[in-house]
Amino acid sequence: MTTATSPAVGATGVSKVFFAGKEPVWALEDVSLQVEEGSFTCVVGPSGCGKSTLLRILGGLEKPTSGTVALQDSSHKIPAAFVFQEHGVFPWVNVLDNVAFGLRMSGVRRNERTERSREWIARVGLSSFEKSYPHELSGGMRQRIAIARAFATGSPVLLMDEPLGALDAQTRLLMQEELVKLWEAERKTVVMVTHGIEEAILLGDRVVVMSARPGRIKEDIQVDFPRPRTMELERTPEFGEMRYRIWELLRDDVRASAAM
């Protein structure tokens, strides 16, 4: 995709091979993805097609075997903040310290970190749980902590790997709406991996559909539904058409990857 502004994060010709067992595993092949600043990109694809690997490469946690990755603001102390599906919170510290963790890592002083963390704790509706420990909270509340922490770091780029994937269906719907509201207010650059087609359409400015392993970009779909978006959108025929189009793109690859 060509954009007027330079991309906030981009991969060009990225391939990744893992040499863990006897056989090499081709996780990604020639993936190029330019993500515009302030946009929300969702990545969907069959299980094991390399979505998490791509995210980790974009965020610098993993090196590509070939190809290049660029983060626009590489001088930022935390160039990208991650949100993972589970285990994203530290069980041994309370909500406030969990949210403040990223800020602590980037050297923000205690007073400012507490202030910024409190603000984000309030924005995700956990003010009365500031002193609680993760085991005292529900799964949805724990994911709110992880999301608040990522936003609180001030990092311009958020990389989310199935952030709502471990939640029950109703909590997930609520959290989708909350996440979309936070993002609409903040306009960070987000790349989010999800297995949920509806979730991808509801949240994303575009949906990148990947093929079965080795993961390649099969199609890059613009989602032009107006914002703010709510669940009501899912009831429209246009939404249904897009959902069907994405499922058509995925179906054979999902079948193929299930047989791997």
Nearest-approach distance from CB 37 to ligand ATP, in angstroms: 25
Q: Are 49 and 253 in contact, with CB atoms under 8 Å apart?
A: yes
Q: Read off the tokens for 44.
A: 């969907």
User: Using H for helix, E for strand and C for coil, what is the string for 48-115?
Assistant: CCCHHHHHHHHCCCCCCCEEEEEECCCCCCCCCEEECCCCCCCCCCCHHHHHHHHHHHCCCCHHHHHH
Q: Among 20-28, 74-82, 172-180, 222-230, which window interacts with ligand ATP (CB under 6 A)?
A: 20-28
Which of 12, 30, 48, 225 binds ligand ATP (CB under 6 A)? It is: 48
- Scanning residues 180 to 219, which ones bind ligand ATP (CB under 6 A)? 213
**Residue 52 in contact with ligand ATP, rule: CB under 6 A:** yes
Q: Is 165 in the site for ligand ATP (CB under 6 A)?
A: no
Residue type for position 109: R
Rule CB under 6 A: choose which of 15, 41, 53, 117 binds ligand ATP: 53
Which residues, other chains included, contact 107 with Cβ-Cβ below 8 Å and sequence gap of 6+? 77
- Judged by beta carbon, residue 52 or residue 72, the one nearer ligand ATP is 52
Residue nearer to ligand ATP on the CB measure, 47 or 236: 47
Q: How far is the CB of 224 from ligand ATP (least distance, A)?
A: 26
> Pattern of binders to ligand ATP over 221-240, x per CB under 6 A?
--------------------
In terms of C-beta density within 10 A (0-12 exposed, 13-18 middle, 19 or more buried), how is residue 137 classed? middle
Q: Per-residue string for binding with ligand ATP, 26-45, x by CB under 6 A?
A: -x-----------------x
The neighbouring-strand residues paired with 222 are 206
140 binds ligand ATP (CB under 6 A): no
Under 8 Å between Cβ of 8 and 159: no
β-pairing, 66-71 with 7-18? antiparallel
Residue 133 CB, shortest distance to ligand ATP, in Å, is 28
Smallest gap, in angstroms, from Cβ of residue 181 to ligand ATP?
A: 26
d(CA 216, CA 209): 9
* Interaction site with ligand ATP (CB under 6 A): 18, 20, 25, 27, 45, 47-53, 213
